[in-house]
Structure 1
Amino acid sequence: MRILLTMLAILAGLWVQDVRANPTQWEREFPKTDFSRSDIGGWQEILSGGPGRDGIPALSDPAFQKVDSETRIDPREPVLTVEIQGATPRAYPLRYLTWHEIVNDTVGGVPVAVTFCPLCNSGMVFDRRVGGQTLSFGVTGKLRNSDMVMYDHQTESWWQQALGQGIVGKHTGTQLKQLPAWMESWAEFARRNPDGLVMDQPRANRSYGRNPYAGYDSRNRPYGFFTGEQPPHGVPALARVVRVGDRAWPVARLSKEGEIREAGVTISWSAGQASALDTAQISKGRDVGTIRVRDAQGKDVPHDVLFAFAFHAFWPKGMWMLGG
């Protein structure tokens, strides 16, 4: 209930949004973080999102159930799919990730961090191994360019979720390995993986299946946590784009063309997936479609589907693949 009230306060504009990161103040919250090391432009880039450390509770080693045992999830609801060779495919429903943002798990012997930042629509999966050590991640409660700042429990270094990169502390500049993963509807996952596994509902008091950011992806601008530039070329701030490296393809273009082959990748779009950030009930969100990105050999390519403002913020010199 506490986290729900916090989110509602944020959405109503009642939270003081100009509370900036202050190492002196936050050393009590993160006593192991080496604040003398960072590669950000200044502490003014980081804002408090409202909840403090672990106020949005990450999950570790969640329970799973078989596809044919799942009865809660609507066919159109989005899941984040992880398929690692030699392991049973796993689906992580956004109805849970919206409230927890990080899941520390192990798939086929690979320790992974399954992450979702609702404010940027960024869903990415990382290998948790760094320099021979397996890290586990939590939510700092801080935002940079409206994107979640994670931290690892081992060194309390801070990590930018959209970049998969350390930005404060011992692991400043360290890059996590992003693994191929994609968002698709529950129906798509279940149809392709009848013997697959789906993350079970966590044992927490949350309104799973509800979207606390109702109407967010129809706004003209993101919430006040973001104060940066708007995207170029007339691309709406909350338009979804497919990012591969430092290139971005507007999903609006993909939905018209169905498939695009450019820059060494094939990007396809198919209807059937509900937006997790539209209506209050996720299952009733408008259709935003499913994106798959593959290379010339047909293998899945690590990518992200995030909002245009976030791409421009983190890749200001990135290439916009507008077609024409």
Structure 2
Amino acid sequence: MQLRLTLLVFILLSFPISLLAKVLNGFNIDNASVPLHLIQRGGPPKDGIPALNQPEFIKGKDAKFMRAQDIVLGLQVSDVVKAYPIRILNWHEIVNDQFGGTRYVISYCPLCGSGMAFLSQPTGELEALDFGVSGLLYNSDVLMYDRKTESLWSQIHGEAIAGASVGSKLKQVPLTLSRWSNWLARHPDSLVLSTNTGYQRDYQRDPYAGYGKNAAIYFPVANQAPNEYHPKEMVLGFKVEQSTIAFPFSELSQLTGLKHGFELAGSRYFVHWDSDNQSAWITNDKGKTQSSTLLFWFAWYAFYPDTKVYKLKESDSQVDPK
């Protein structure tokens, strides 16, 4: 018996540590800062959904492939304006881009309906990173990975949740969601991401057609959203320090004015509703646009179950905790 025990210990000590590690899609998640059972394979392998690393852009007025009703994510940095069509992002999810020498990562998760942009240089770090699609999900949301350390990054949290960079954060920058016709009218000099991506994809086809109307959630999440709203109702999620608030579109659509004020964490903000484009954004009391996230209700609640929810009353609006 003692001999068997000694032999077992010897075998375990001799076994390569890398083979004992918890690995998914080639990523070591032993030091994950989130529950391991919520990190799931989404189906495709690492880079099975190819990020765009050298994106090509054309002038918006020359983009004959764009339709007036197409939804785009718009990013403006100084005088440079770019649009990223959702029907291209559906196939690639990540665009590594730059504005005036500063690098950004534009990300979109079709399963959560979440479009977000970040500075590619993590807070406090000196070097910008390139990101790819890991093929893994956390809370049904895309997990990006950086090609330098192969750490996994939660899109909605904007934070590394496993790997050498665990705990590092990315700085979110404001994105605008708009219909193409409206975006081009407001930004006639806008560039738009070209379909000349180097990959053979049918950008006229939506691989997730019908998903946004279906109540089913295909991957486990930490917190099930109350059924007061459809799981995939679009909400505008906003976070300040440790306080969060969600603005369901069904509530915003009842606004009689262009904006309504609210307070969060002791500061005054304004939510703006654009009924024509079915979009919303947040400004502070000085009129500066704040970073926020448009996404499905179930996804916001999965990450922020203590969120407040904006509700419109008959004569005015108030924030109700949920």
**TM-score, normalised on structure 1?**
0.82
Structure 1 gap ranges (5+): 1-21, 274-288
Counterpart Cα distance in 1 of 2:224 and 2:31: 29
* 2:176 alignment partner, one of 175, 178, 182: 182
- Give the length in aligned residue pairs: 282
The corresponding residue for 1:215 is 210
Q: Cα distance, 1:127 vs. partner?
A: 0.2
Counterpart Cα distance in 2 of 1:47 and 1:141: 9
The corresponding residue for 1:26 is 23
- The answer to whether the 8 Å contact 1:180/1:300 transfers is yes
Counterpart Cα distance in 1 of 2:25 and 2:249: 43
Counterpart Cα distance in 1 of 2:105 and 2:184: 22
Q: Cα distance, 1:236 vs. partner?
A: 1.9
Is 1:93 the counterpart of 2:88? The answer is no
The corresponding residue for 1:62 is 55
The corresponding residue for 1:304 is 293
Is 1:252 the counterpart of 2:256? The answer is no
The corresponding residue for 1:198 is 192
* 1:238 alignment partner, one of 232, 235, 245: 232
CA offset digits 1:55-100 (Å, max 9, x no partner): 0000112111111111111111111111112x31111111111100
SS at match of 2:224: coil
Is 1:139 the counterpart of 2:128? The answer is no
SS at match of 2:312: coil
CA offset digits 1:267-306 (Å, max 9, x no partner): 2222344xxxxxxxxxxxxxxx122322222221110011
SS at match of 1:59: coil
The corresponding residue for 2:33 is 39
Q: Cα distance, 1:173 vs. partner?
A: 1.1
SS at match of 2:185: helix
Larger radius of gyration: 2
Return closer, same or farther for 1:227/1:163 CA change in 2, 3 Å cut-off. Answer: closer
Q: Cα distance, 1:161 vs. partner?
A: 0.7
What letter matches 2:260 in structure 1?
Answer: I
Q: Cα distance, 1:313 vs. partner?
A: 0.8
**What are the within-5 Å matches in structure 2 for residues 161-176 of structure 1?**
161-176=155-170
* 2:42 alignment partner, one of 20, 38, 49: 49
The corresponding residue for 2:120 is 128
CA offset digits 1:135-179 (Å, max 9, x no partner): 010011011111001100000000001111110011111110000
Q: Cα distance, 1:28 vs. partner?
A: 7.5
SS at match of 1:316: coil
Q: Cα distance, 1:25 vs. partner?
A: 6.1
Q: Cα distance, 1:121 vs. partner?
A: 0.5
**What are the within-5 Å matches in structure 2 for residues 10-21 of structure 1?**
none
Q: Cα distance, 1:108 vs. partner?
A: 2.5
CA offset digits 1:4-30 (Å, max 9, x no partner): xxxxxxxxxxxxxxxxxx984637824
Matched-pair identity in %: 34
Counterpart Cα distance in 1 of 2:310 and 2:281: 16
**TM-score, normalised on structure 2?**
0.83
The corresponding residue for 1:261 is 261
SS at match of 1:256: coil
The structure with the largest strand share of the pair is 2
- The answer to whether the 8 Å contact 2:221/2:302 transfers is no
SS at match of 1:155: coil
Counterpart Cα distance in 2 of 1:156 and 1:125: 19
Q: Cα distance, 1:215 vs. partner?
A: 1.2
- The answer to whether the 8 Å contact 2:129/2:146 transfers is yes
The corresponding residue for 1:102 is 94
